[in-house]
Every structure is written in structure tokens, then in C-alpha cells.
Chain A
């Protein structure tokens, strides 16, 4: 599969995530859109890793080039899991204080 195809697909998913963050006001859905963007980046990293591997296989049949990209995806998933636990705790605290998950309530952090 040509690599451009994966780039376009990931860009489409990433843009949908950006549009979601910009247009929705429910904090949980904004958070889910961030997860969507992370997944788009993960898919692109795996595709690039396979592209790199295909290029390395032509010179050395036993090459393991491209493992780093997939491990990077693994670490991104680890960090995303930690981030979700803390972020959802913050959202629960926000709901407990304001009885709403509207992110416009967070405007008061300005003052």
C-alpha cells in the first residue's frame, strides 16, 4: 500500500479530532477526540515503521529496522492510559464542584 494513502487517512482522522476539540463543549467528548488524534498518530507511526522496514529489507534480509517505531507506539499507549486516568479524575472533580462538564466553566481559571 503506498505510504501516501496512510498519511491521508491519518490526517483525516486527526482533523476530525481537531474539529471535535474545537466544536464540542462536553469535556468528556473533547477528551475522546484527543484519544482519536493519538490513535491517528499511532497508525501513522506503524505505517512509517513498516515503510522503513521495507526499505531496510532490500539490503539486509534479517534486518529488524523499524522496531523503534512500533515501540514508540507502545509507549504512547502507556502514556495515554496514564493521562486518561488523571484527566477523568479532573473531570469528575469538575463535575462535583459545578454539576456540569461544560468546558466553558474552566474559563474562570483565567482570573
Chain B
């Protein structure tokens, strides 16, 4: 009787774990489909403002992927830096130049076709390369667990092993700021 009950609970646990994994996979596929659809919409929309808004959707989907991979710091930084700062800069420039009416001249259809075919060729070659890579078979990315993506571990590594690149990046920002001001100055 006791053993039967334990067995039953074990079975319940197994079902719950499988359900969890099923939900996780569904989430991953949903986010990927959303990201690819939005990326295609970035290309095909005529109005640049709509392109920017679709690109923000892509960034949100990629942040969702980061959260599922338990890289929480990168998820937040991706939202703040990309969706928050860079995309606002793009939107600001587009509205400053009054480009929201589409002014793009028609391009030859065969040029578009050539672009799509060459991108598709790249995709095909890389996919066939990955399909026959034996080193990658059986490897899996750790989902939901693992604490290397937490800010504690990343901060420890950033301020001990990677402190020189960190300081150099501040110099990079200063030079980028000076460069942007010099380029954007009148005359």
C-alpha cells in the first residue's frame, strides 16, 4: 500500500516535469517565431518608424530568450540599452529628418531577388554545415538553472579579470561621444 502510494507520487512528479519541459519548449518556439516574424517585418515595412517598432519587438523576444537561459543581467541590459536607448535614438533621428513618409525609390526587382538569393545561399550553406557537425550532437544549453548569468557572478568576473577592457570601454565611449559631436557639428 505504502509502496503503491510512493510509486504514484513518483509518476505524478514525472508527469509534472515533462509538462514543465513541454511548456518551456513551447515558450522557446513561440519567442523564436515572434522574433523571426518581427525581423521579416523590419525588412518589408515601407515606413521606417514601423521598422523601428518591429525591431523593438525582436529585442523583447531576444530578452525573453535570455531570461529562459537564466541570463538575467543580459536580459535587463538588452532591454535598457537596445530597446531603451538605441531604438529611441533611431526613432529620434527618423523623426528629426521627417522620414516617416516613405521616400525610398523603387529598386530593381532583380536586385532584391539577388539579395534574397545570396542571403538564402548563406543560410543553406551554414545549415548544412551545422547538420553534419558531429561535435555539436548531444550538447544542450542549460535552461532555467545555472547561476553564471546572475549579476553577482558577472560583476565579480567583470571587476577582477576583465577590469582593463572595462576601463578601455569607457575611453571608447568618450571618443565616440567626441566623434559624434564633431561629425554632427554644423559646417
Contact = CB atoms under 8 A, between A and B. Distances in A.
Contacts of A91: 93
Contacts of A82: 172-173, 175-176
Nearest to A32: B55
B148 A11 contact: no
Given A23-B111, A78-B172, A86-B179, A32 B42 contact: yes
A15 B122 contact: yes
Given A1-B25, A53-B142, A70-B148, A79 B172 contact: yes
A85 B146 contact: no
Interface in A83-100: 83-86, 88-93, 95, 100
Contacts of B140: 1-3, 51, 54
Interface residues of B, number: 81
B141 A50 contact: yes
A3 B131 CA distance: 12
Contact of A35 (B55, B96, B120): B55
A46 B42 contact: no
Given A70-B73, A71-B154, A89 B130 contact: no
Contacts of B120: 15, 19
Interface string B146-187: 101100011001100010010001001101110111011000
A35 B82 CA distance: 9
Contacts of B177: 85
Residue from A1, A33, A51, A93 with most neighbouring chain B CB atoms (10 Å):
A1
Interface in A1-49: 1-9, 11-13, 15-20, 22-26, 28-29, 31-33, 35-36, 39, 42-43, 46-49
Nearest 5 A-B pairs (CB), nearest first?
A: A22-B115, A82-B176, A19-B119, A23-B115, A54-B142
Interface of B: 24-25, 28, 32, 35-36, 39-40, 42-43, 48, 51-52, 55, 58-59, 62, 65-66, 69-71, 73-74, 77-78, 81-82, 85-86, 89-90, 93-94, 96-97, 99, 103-105, 107, 111-112, 114-116, 118-120, 122-123, 126-127, 130, 136-137, 139-143, 146, 148-149, 153-154, 157-158, 162, 165, 169, 172-173, 175-177, 179-181, 183-184
